[in-house]
Amino acid sequence: MQTPSTEEPHAIIVHPTVEDNNFEIKPALIYLVQQNQFFGSPTEDSNFHISTFLRLSGTLNANQEAVRLHLFPFSLRDKASAWFHSLEVGPITSWDQMRRAFLTRFFHLSKTVQLRKLTSCNQNSHFGN
């Protein structure tokens, strides 16, 4: 039988120190991010998710590194959220590390094949003119 833990959950992300005392993520921004969640499905575009997330998180006039690291977990759901919570404690210390880990996990091979086909088609049509 499992018993509830009384320990605080371990931090996956080591958040940067924020000098600005006015750092606050408004609930409305969290809501917007949650309306654009990434589920971890092979049909989803991880690059598009990052692009949308950056556009939303960039609306705050604050330390962007801190904003992105605090807000990104709210943009994940289902398989993507489970992946995030399976990460080791404390390995993520920057937005670049978070972005790379996410893209490494969710940029599907099928997307790479699609991009190569598009590039090949564009080059062939360009040379045909």
Please state the domain count of the chain.
1
Q: Which long-range contacts (CB under 8 A, 24 or more apart) does 117-126 make?
A: none
Mean pLDDT in residue range 107-113: 61
pLDDT digits (tens, 9 = 90+) for 17-65: 777 556 788 899 999 999 999 999 988 999 999 999 999 999 888 888 8
Structural domain range at position 105: 27-127
**Is 123 contained in some domain?**
yes
Q: Left (φ > 0), alpha (ψ -120 to 50) or beta: where does 94 sit?
A: beta
**Is 63 contained in some domain?**
yes
The pLDDT of residue 121 is: 63
Instruction: Decide if 49 contacts 38 (C-beta within 8 A).
Output: yes
Question: Which has the closest alpha carbon to 38: 88, 107, 86?
Answer: 107
**Is 77 contained in some domain?**
yes
- Retrieve residue 116's tokens: 């190569």
**Is 7 contained in some domain?**
no
The pLDDT of residue 116 is: 56
Instruction: Decide if 12 contacts 85 (C-beta within 8 A).
Output: yes
Give the percent of the chain with pLDDT over 90.
47
**Is 31 contained in some domain?**
yes
**Is 10 contained in some domain?**
no
Residue 63 identity:
N
Q: What is the pTM of this model?
A: 0.74
**Is 4 contained in some domain?**
no
**Average pLDDT across the chain, whole number:** 81
Instruction: Decide if 35 contacts 29 (C-beta within 8 A).
Output: no
The pLDDT of residue 89 is: 79
Burial class of residue 82 (count of CB atoms within 10 Å of its CB; 0-12, 13-18, 19+): exposed
**Is 42 contained in some domain?**
yes
